[in-house]
Amino acid sequence: MDITIDKATFYRNMSLFESGGMVNKFESDDRKWYYELASNKHAHFICESCHSVKCVDFPFPASVDGEQITSAVLKGRCKECKDNS
């Protein structure tokens, strides 16, 4: 079953889900937006060479100095790019 949806409708709905606290979004280095369920908080690693995005599993603080944390992005070089240099 294929679902067809207009891009504007998709992003308008994702914006509503984000404002309602249902999803979080983050932007990668290649200017792509990624969305995930807000209940599944974790950090992401973005490789500065190949721009791959990987989930990182480590304790995620709910807040830092009173600021509410909804997402975290770590940047560097992935193992594959580091090994191939």
Burial of 46 (0-12, 13-18, 19+ CB in 10 A): buried
The encoded tokens of residue 13 equal 């709905």
Record the pTM: 0.70
pLDDT for 8 equals: 94
> What is the per-residue pLDDT across 49-78, written as a single tens digit (0 to 9) for each?
998 999 888 777 777 888 887 778 889 999
Beta bridge partners of 44: 55, 73
- For strands 43-47 and 72-76, give the pairing: parallel
> What is the per-residue pLDDT across 10-55, written as a single tens digit (0 to 9) for each?
999 999 999 998 998 888 877 888 898 888 778 899 999 998 999 8
Token pair 């807000």 is at which residue? 38
